[in-house]
Structure 1
Amino acid sequence: MAKFALAKEPKPLPEFAFTDAEDKPLTLAAYKGKTVLLNFWATWCAPCVKEMPSLDKLQAEMGKERFVVLPLSLDGPSRPKVAPFYADRKLTHLGIFFDKGKKALGALDVSVLPTSILIDAQGRELGRLEGDAEWDRPEALALMKAAVESAK
């Protein structure tokens, strides 16, 4: 987690929309009250592919009551590959979400894939990590648990 850049103080995020696997529009407001690890990824991004199993394990370890990993796929024309990608890798704890038109990517000033943004229960950015990480390692779990606990 040495690459995780903690914000000096939690910063408000701009509004942005995304869709779920059924194309239902969503915003971050749907997760108000939960700590969110927003992960920008794509099936064609090798480092993204590498870290997805650890994100799945992180979600399994943390549970969904107060924490959610929100993997936001940037797959456009390759979108039909996402569900089979999850099935092939047995990613059973993560939902499927899409950043249509890369609007969230632009709104959150993301320029590297993968990028993960830790968001507190009030919807503010706590920090981000550009590049892949092993999210199921003890130091990553400790960081996520601390973020969840600070929301109490």
Structure 2
Amino acid sequence: MSQQRISAARGIAVVLFALAISMTAPVMAAGKVPKSVGPQGFLIWESPRTLPELAFEDEDGRPLTLADFKGKAILLNIWATWCLPCREEMPTLDSLQAQLGGEQFEVVALSVDHAGISVVEKFYQETSIQHLRQYIDPSTLATSTLGIEGVPTTLLIDHDGREIGRLVGAAEWDSPAMVDLMTRTIDEAWNWPRVTPTESLSLQR
């Protein structure tokens, strides 16, 4: 390899390293310590994190919070129809829901579109999304509430409503490695200490 190519390769490596640091810095700064890094950069926390109250609506305008999902694990995907990576990964989230969705698990795709649920419905129809329900955050406060700096960002939340993992950016959610990670991590979460009434509901930063 020529010296010029070596220099170019080193330059690319430096850029990639800086990018990786910049993407993980926010969660590290927030005090979250990853136990492991799964496929496609999915971070699994050393211990579950309590989450703040998050208000949103379903396709019928029914008000919901994360407490309404207590008892099942959820993969909370924060997205928007104007976000190209979000649009590209949505079919794989739909496929993941088809494979794992049920009484114990649900993929919750929460849109932060200012235009409301109508644009979500239109997108679902255009892309033949069949297994995901429609959820909208009319306040568009989900990103700031959850400490999210960009979409898509996806949180894995256990049966007690605590965050146990997070991925910043898009992913191939129905890949065998990701399906296996979801299954194993959710199973392991059952063995963690349960939430007590005295636990703080504020996001630990």
Give, in angstroms, the shift of residue 127 of structure 1. 1.1
Check conservation: 1:35, 1:147, Cα contact below 8 A: no
| Partner of residue 182, structure 2 | 144
RMSD after superposition: 1.3
Give, in angstroms, the shift of residue 132 of structure 1. 0.2
Give, in angstroms, the shift of residue 61 of structure 1. 0.4
Give, in angstroms, the shift of residue 147 of structure 1. 2.7
What one-letter code is carried by the residue in structure 2 that aligns with 1:17? Answer: A
The alignment partner of 2:184 has SS state of: helix
**Which of 58, 64, 67 is the equivalent residue of 2:105?**
67
Give, in angstroms, the shift of residue 13 of structure 1. 0.6
Trace 1:1-152 onto structure 2 (pairs within 5 A). Answer: 1-77=39-115, 79-150=117-188, 151=190
What one-letter code is carried by the residue in structure 1 that aligns with 2:107? Answer: V
Q: Distance in 2 between matches of 1:97 and 1:54?
A: 17
Q: Which moved more, 1:14-23 or 1:46-55?
A: 14-23
Q: Distance in 1 between matches of 2:141 and 2:119?
A: 21
Q: Distance in 2 between matches of 1:63 and 1:6?
A: 20
TM-score normalised by structure 1 residue count: 0.95
Count of equivalent residues: 152
The percent of aligned pairs where both chains have the same amino acid is 45
TM-score normalised by structure 2 residue count: 0.71
Check conservation: 2:143, 2:150, Cα contact below 8 A: no
Bigger-Rg structure (1/2) = 2
Unmatched 5+ residue regions in structure 2? 1-38, 192-205
Check conservation: 2:59, 2:117, Cα contact below 8 A: no
Q: Distance in 1 between matches of 2:52 and 2:137?
A: 15
Q: Distance in 2 between matches of 1:2 and 1:63?
A: 21
Which structure features the higher share of helix residues?
Answer: 2
Give, in angstroms, the shift of residue 102 of structure 1. 1.7
Deviations 1:14-55 (A, max 9, x none): 111111112111001111111100000111100000000000
Check conservation: 1:119, 1:125, Cα contact below 8 A: yes
Give, in angstroms, the shift of residue 78 of structure 1. 5.8
Q: Distance in 2 between matches of 1:78 and 1:44?
A: 12
Check conservation: 2:44, 2:164, Cα contact below 8 A: yes
